[in-house]
Amino acid sequence: MKQAIQSLLFVGMIGVTASAEAQQWEPLPAQPPIPADNPQTEQKVELGKVLFFDPRLSEHGTLSCNSCHNVMGSGDDNRPNSIGMHDARGGRSAPTVWNAAFQSAQFWDGRADSLEAQAKGPITNPIEMGMGSAEVVMERLKSIPGYLPLFKAAFPGSPDPINMDNLAKAIASYERTLITPDTPYDRYVKGDKSAFTEQQARGMQTFAELGCTACHSGPNFSGPSLQAGQGFFMKFPTFAGSKYDDQYDLLLDTGRHAVTKQESDRHLWRVPTLRNIALTAPYLHNGKVETLEEAVVVMAKTQLNKDVTPAQVKDVVAFLTSLGGSFPAQTMPRLPLTVGVSIVPAVDPHLKTTPLSH
């Protein structure tokens, strides 16, 4: 309830406009928050990266974390809905993993209070990676000989290091390396005025004057920095009744309410980051909006009750492109192998298969 009240107070600020000069523009820190119970180590990051890319964490050995959150690209899958096990489709678009470490709550509805909590969810979710239980996951990992030395190195002193908590800590540690602090925007607010085009600078002004910073503030453009688990939520749509409610099915999913069952949380959503937003189409929680230009129009109307001009849209989009960073180089990890045996069960024999000629 406290989070909902806090969110609604911020919603009341939406009508307030501010100039770009008055807005506090913050560069992204060089390092995200690190929880005291999961300090970063090279060995833990290495293990987390291997786990992030290993499709054997899924029922049929076909999907990894990277399948929906492609770090070789924009950190998502650029689909309205991700494809899960048994060709299932989730109801929401996969958010980017880039800069997720700066979010104080994870998932669109904020149901996970940390990256560690988030890492556990998809693996055992029947419409995502489909593993039956945490016990099944651990049994499979323990059957891969190469994982034990990796877990021992990452969690020294643990008598039984291969467990679900350590798996989540390792994946979260790797994800905390996935940040993009060196953007034109960051260079601009640090004093390098040549980092922006004239249109981007104008778009920055327009972004503030329209009131977009009431939600998308802070260095991550996802709201103020809060303690872990205290998500920053906004009602969406704030101004219901526009043509976009039906056009993009904005009212079908009740957001955080689906988790808490509290009426005050109906249509509340965790504010997503705008960093690299130009690369993460389609947009909104349901992936219904195909272009960034249309997303700007929809958000202006539903959140600010404003009809923006084509010129304003172009300027804001130009500014948003400045939030795209230089991605740190990623290399595919070598996965621990099994010799002479497959640990992935046979695919459901009732599924229709078609022989292929090679």
Positions annotated as catalytic residues are: 128
Q: Is 350 annotated as a binding residue?
A: no
DSSP state of 30: S
Q: Is 68 annotated as a binding residue?
A: yes
The residues near 12 (Cβ < 8 Å, ≥ 6 apart) are none
Copy the structure tokens of residue 71. Answer: 């770090």
Strands (E), the chain: 233-235, 268-270
Q: Is 212 annotated as a binding residue?
A: yes
Q: Look-up: residue for tokens 């979010």?
A: 103
Q: Look-up: residue for tokens 């999913």?
A: 253
Cα distances (Å, whole numbers) of residue 237 to 244, 267, 296: 9, 7, 13
d(CA 60, CA 92): 22
Q: Is 69 annotated as a binding residue?
A: yes
Copy the structure tokens of residue 134. Answer: 């945490």
Q: Is 65 annotated as a binding residue?
A: yes
Amino acid at 346: A
Cα distances (Å, whole numbers) of residue 135 to 58, 97, 114, 160: 13, 26, 22, 14
CB-hemisphere CA count at 13 Å for 108? 20
Nearest Cα neighbor of 215 from 268, 262, 264 is 268
d(CA 14, CA 303): 8
Binding-site residues, please? 65, 68-69, 212, 215-216, 299
Binding-site residues for heme c, please? 65, 68-69, 212, 215-216, 299
